[in-house]
Chain A
Amino acid sequence: MFEKEEEQLKNLYDNIQVPLDSLDEAIFTGFQKASLDKMRKSRRKKWLFNMTAAAIILVGFFTTIRISPAFADYISVIPGMEKLVDLIRDDKGKMLAVENDYYEKIGVSQEKNGIKFTIDGAIADENGLILFYSINTKEKLKEVYTEEVELESLDEKELGESSAMLGTPLYSEKGKTSHSEKFEFYFQTPLEVKRFEIKVGLKVKGQKEVFTLPFELKKEIQKKKTYVLDKEVEIEGQKFTLSKVDVYPIRIAVHVKMNHPQNTKKLLYFDGIRLIDEHGETWSKIANGFTNSGISDDEEIIYLQSNYFREPNELYLEINKIQAVDKDEANVVVDTQRAQILKQPKGNKFIAARVEGDQIILSMRPKKEFSYGLFNVVRDKTGEEIDITETSISHSLEDEKVIEYGVKLPGLNAEMSPISLELVYFPSWIEGNEKIKVK
């Protein structure tokens, strides 16, 4: 019936020339990109293990902030500042710190086998240290990974325990000869050390180079400003206490005591929280980096971008949206043998569970994109905690609207089932409109 058409269709692409070299290159590039993602994922895991407190990293959507005229002036007079700006463009507080001359130029470098590693400068306060660095190479490179990074004190005083964020590695299909990034360290105890040594392992073309650079901070460290609040707040009948706000040059730490005994819900995560001054200028959460850390079961610190270098007459905290679930529903229980969800918060938001090797994957169809790693404590049937080595979030291949949340649990086996996963994020909220005076 359609012989003619069939014949033509069959012949249509039989005789085309396939550009084999370009095809192989395309495959290789795609493969490399994917395997690099996998490595990044495991690197993120490494950060988590570096942390002493159960801090949660949220690498959020990159929000850019318009550069103020004062800032534009400032960077135009100092050469080499543009690349720095790109690294802090998502954070008003860090931009203000630079604008107010709180950035300290360092310029210490070491060269090895055609690779030059430079600590360009730093922003430091009692709580954190941001090191801006650059890598310059003689030949164009497509990939450079920062492997282990160790920061040590050259003073008599020891450095306190720290959490670190190591930035993104260099990855460029065309190849680049320079790459700028930053390390961020946050300390458990106030930073008093002035002289440091940083050891950075770089992996270039499968070879490892270790750079060791001593450096010194000379700028006086600005003291934090603390506002003690001890204010109880209630949203939809759920209470929490804002204990204090510490304003550091790099970030603001809002201390919150969550989960009062009479609460019926477990408060998980503050989605809507910001500072606002008398002019209506707002300071939101950290966009890319540590957004909060748990100090204990019911105490948490939420990090906001800093207004340290502003002197507002009035300052308020606005809170309007908090992720919360009923207390007795704050976990998901999965029968891993039968891939069944035995228990979950009401509303049946989780639509399926499956087990792949040592990974449990739960899927959901959230109304809006919900890109949080949902779980951080996982227990087996005896209540014993199981280590999570990797968490993943991906869109389902069959249905883009379905998001799959995976947790990798090495050694997962049938004996452990049922597995209980405690929720740290969940798309259900309590909402209100609270404005609390800070200053």
Chain B
Amino acid sequence: MNADEKLVRDAIKGDDTAFLQLIQLCKIDLYKTALSFLRNEEEALEAVQEVTYRAYKNIHTVRDAAYFKTWLIRIMINYSNDQLKKKKRVVLNEEILKLHGTVEHHTEMELKDAMSTLDERSREILTLKYFQDMKIKDIAVTLQCPEGTVKTWLNKALKALRDKLEGNGGDLHV
């Protein structure tokens, strides 16, 4: 971690090589996060491009070198949420989900669909916890809230996800 923190400090000072190295270290996670939100390769790649751009321009706002990655993922989540809002794709997917009805064994597709119908915060929390494998403590830092709150949200998110997957659309009609 120490070596990475030095990279972050160098990058903040304007060292382009350090910056690119850092992005290299985080690129897979960035991509996966983007993909989990945006759900297609092309848009996820575009998201990585935009986030690299924003990160470079705002690198001076990194407060704590140890949390560079969470800072970066945070930018990605914000960007992805904005994109989703622009497209209102969520509505469309809800329709599809309704058609599918209930199935005992959830396919990947269904899981992805269900994810995308969740509220913003639940989606964020699940992304950080399960796709990024982040600890509750780190999620709390990323989202700037107490750990207890993260736990509550996480439970809510999982419950919402289960309801979407199992309920006969129950939640969906609300």
Contacts and interface: CB of A to CB of B under 8 A. Distances in A.
A16 B162 CA distance: 23
The listed residue with most A CB atoms (<10 A of its CB), out of B16, B56, B106, B165, is B56
A23 B158 contact: no
A27 B161 contact: no
B56 A23 contact: no
B31 A35 contact: no
A23 B16 contact: no
Contacts of A25: 45
A6 interface: yes
Contacts of A220: none
A27 B158 contact: no
B161 A5 contact: yes
Contact of B108 (A12, A29, A37, A394): A12
Interface string B19-57: 110011001100110011000010001101111111011
B75 interface: yes
A9 B48 contact: no
A356 interface: yes
Interface string A388-401: 00000010111000
**Residues of A in contact with B, size category:** 20 to 34
A30 B51 contact: yes
Contacts of B150: none
A34 B56 contact: yes
A299 to B, nearest CB: 37
Given A10-B130, A27-B20, A31-B20, A16 B35 contact: yes
Contacts of A30: 48-53, 56
A348 interface: no
B152 interface: no
B48 A26 contact: yes
Interface of B is mostly: helix
A430 to B, nearest CB: 35
A2 B27 contact: no
Nearest to B61: A397
B131 interface: yes
A22 interface: yes
A347 interface: no
Contact of B31 (A18, A31, A34): A18
Contacts of A29: 49, 52
B12 to A, nearest CB: 8
Contacts of B135: none
Interface in A373-419: 394, 396-398
B46 A27 contact: no
Given A18-B28, A26-B52, A30-B49, A5 B162 contact: yes
Contact of A23 (B20, B31, B131, B162): B31
11 contacts: A5-B165, A12-B112, A12-B131, A13-B35, A18-B28, A19-B45, A29-B49, A30-B48, A30-B49, A31-B19, A34-B54
Interface of A: 1-2, 5-6, 8-10, 12-13, 16, 18-19, 22-27, 29-31, 33-35, 37, 356-357, 359, 394, 396-398
Which 10 pairs across A and B sit closest by C-beta, in order of nearness? A30-B52, A34-B56, A9-B130, A30-B49, A26-B49, A30-B53, A2-B158, A26-B48, A26-B45, A34-B53
